[in-house]
């Protein structure tokens, strides 16, 4: 599987690309996400099968695609209505609290994606919006 992660220096981005074959390699790359220099990791099996993990520093958003269906991971325990500012893809965005995922859940979801080759849409541990 291929993982790309952004690497920002001021307004310039250099994408880093890795070919990974173990859970530890994935965790090492995802652990770089800091919502500043590294704000988005894209795990890719094919052009129509990917999972993106954005953010960092304890706040993450996850979106992906399988054959034209877009998936957004949601936090069913979200509280509040105030939007959360989070840098993903090098841009500050305002997200509804239901889209903010903990590091533990975000990384577990990414590992599940890696091990199965698909978004874990039928895993009861995860709640998804689909478009």
Tens of pLDDT along 20-56? Answer: 999 999 999 999 999 999 999 999 999 999 999 999 9
What is residue 107's predicted lDDT score, i.e. its pLDDT? 98
What is the band of 81 on the pLDDT scale with cuts at 50, 70, 90? confident
Name the CA dihedral angle for 62, 26, 5, 83, rounded to a multiple of 10 degrees: 30
- Residue 22: CB partners within 8 Å, gap ≥ 6? none
Percent of the chain with pLDDT over 70: 100
Predicted TM-score of the model (pTM): 0.96
- Parallel, antiparallel or unpaired: strands 8-9 and 12-13: antiparallel
């Amino acid at each position: 599987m291929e993982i790309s992660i952004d690497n920002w220096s001021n307004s310039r981005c250099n994408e880093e690309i890795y070919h990974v074959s173990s859970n530890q390699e994935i965790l090492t790359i995802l652990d770089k996400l800091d919502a500043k220099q590294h704000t988005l990791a894209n795990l890719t099996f094919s052009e129509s099968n990917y999972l993106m993990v954005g953010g960092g520093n304890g706040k993450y958003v996850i979106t992906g695609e399988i054959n034209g269906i877009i998936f957004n991971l949601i936090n069913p325990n979200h509280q509040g209505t105030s939007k959360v500012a989070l840098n993903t893809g090098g841009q500050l965005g305002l997200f509804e609290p239901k889209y903010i995922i903990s590091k533990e859940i975000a990384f577990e979801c990414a590992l599940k994606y890696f091990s199965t080759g698909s978004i874990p849409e039928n895993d009861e541990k995860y709640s998804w919006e689909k478009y």
